Structure 1
Amino acid sequence: MTSTFRHIALIGKYHTPSAAAPSAESSASLQRIAAHVRSLGCEVILDTQSAIYAGMTDYPSMDVDGLGKHCDLGLVVGGDGTMLGVSRHLARYGTPLVGINQGRLGFVTDIALDDFESSISSILQGEYEEDERPLMHARVMRDDVCVFEAQAMNDVVVNRGSTSGMVELRIEVGGHFVSNQRADGLIVATPTGSTAYALSAGGPMLHPSIPAWVMVPIAPHNLSNRPIVLSDAQEITIEVVGGRGDVSANFDMQSLASLQHGDRILVKRADHSVHFLHPKGWNYFATLRKKLGWNEGGS
């Protein structure tokens, strides 16, 4: 078989060294995938932590940045959470990613683990659907000094602490004042993140091809504060202007535990996007039907 891709990164869902020992099932999955890809004539390189976790010493390994520089395709085994972390690191290298689902929902890890061989073989031969997803770049500014900086693939969330009352936020879009909102918090989500927390909070789903964010208040005091879809070409500024108790900010799984009054969160489109490859015939609406249980009992 002639492969379009030659150097394949394999990244699994692993725990920190202090966590419990890896399950035999997870290690066996990585072994099985690595052996299949190698049998197709490709070089398989594991990320360092996955190799340690799975006890796989018969394959070379690199850190994630090394994989981005050396490999021309990444296979990510796990759930959407695993993919979020990997994609933020590898986007800068333009490495396309393929998701093999070992989690629950799997909106972006869409290849079933039980039947990965045929899908991976076809993708390696150049038969696939491409899917580009934007990343957010967020900064937390305190007295004009950046105290935290992160990228996010799903969302940026500002919310109240577990015991405090509502938080008051001042919102600007593209330098224009929008509103002051009193709520439990605020979500700014990408099209990818529109099917995550933002959807649970009452926001709309955005097709991945739409260059937009969705901004969704969490339990707003004023019920006229509704979700709004915004162009991703403009920067969003969220300033903490009031509220009692702790206020926190979360960027996908990355957190800044405490914000202060006057802190501003600046959200804009990142310089890089994530490139996903899916099996031939994949489409976004089929994913929604499957993952959200649409048309259950119908044809």
Structure 2
Amino acid sequence: MHPFSLVKADSTRAAVEAGRRGGRFIAGGTTLVDLMRETVERPGRLVDIDGLPLRGITTTPGGGLRIGALVRMAEAAADSRVRVMFPVVSQALELSASAQLRNMATIGGNIMQRTRCTYFRDVSADCNKRRPGSGCAARGGLNRTHAILGTSEHCVATHASDVAVAFAALEARVRLLGPDGERSVPFAGFLLPPGGTPDREQAIGRGELITAVEIPPLPRRLRSGYLKVRDRQSYEFALTSAAVALHLRGGVIRAAKVAAGGVGTVPWKLPAVERELLGERPSERLWARAAERAADGARPLAHNGFKVELLKRTVERQLRVVGGTR
């Protein structure tokens, strides 16, 4: 690990100023410390934000939910409002990492985590995220766990967060505080697909601090849930996952929110699946037809072609679990 300095921010404004001067924010540290130990990240200055007042979970007008950036993953998963209003979020959190990590890791840190691509974490390998212009070793290497959606010639790494998939499905927004004040970014535009700049992973400016994630008001009663498919039952990243939220009224699907994880360079919203569902009545035939659209645009690599069919089956299964059949 390379030498670094550590300062403790006593206010959000002080944190923003320290970030503007080049400091890297750290709270739970469950990702950044690992990357520093592996010399993937070499920040010269860390800004400890763990004591800032960004921990609350509150309801918003109309029935939405605001989760502070420093709320621990375990705390958010156990919160009664999260569990009742948006089970997909609590389930995604509970299927993440280990109990020990969930007790330390924060919501803001989780959505900012970097890829688990082995080539990114191997400093001897070519990686455009780590060293722009060096190439992408995963494209011609072992790529079984890599992305099939949202890829580019420069990067095929997946985003590792489970709860980010739930936030993407629910069309959440990320609240930011920066040198120029506060702003709100749609979750779909916060995490960036690689394109030609895979080293730029979030739509966040220098010194900007995540203060909260806000889930908008959605129709009640909303049924939702998260399914994660992986090589082993615990402490493993998704091969595929599906976050599904449905609102049924009069036996008809009036609102549908669906996203997938483990298959995209960012949490992947599935608008084609959503369109197939709207205005329809739940049935086995509907779930199968809608799920066929889940892999639209997929570009599998040498070793991950199985993800195309696995994604469709994962989405179909979770549609059946959340929506039921008649």
Q: Which has the larger radius of gyration?
A: 1
TM-score for the superposition, normalised by structure 1: 0.30
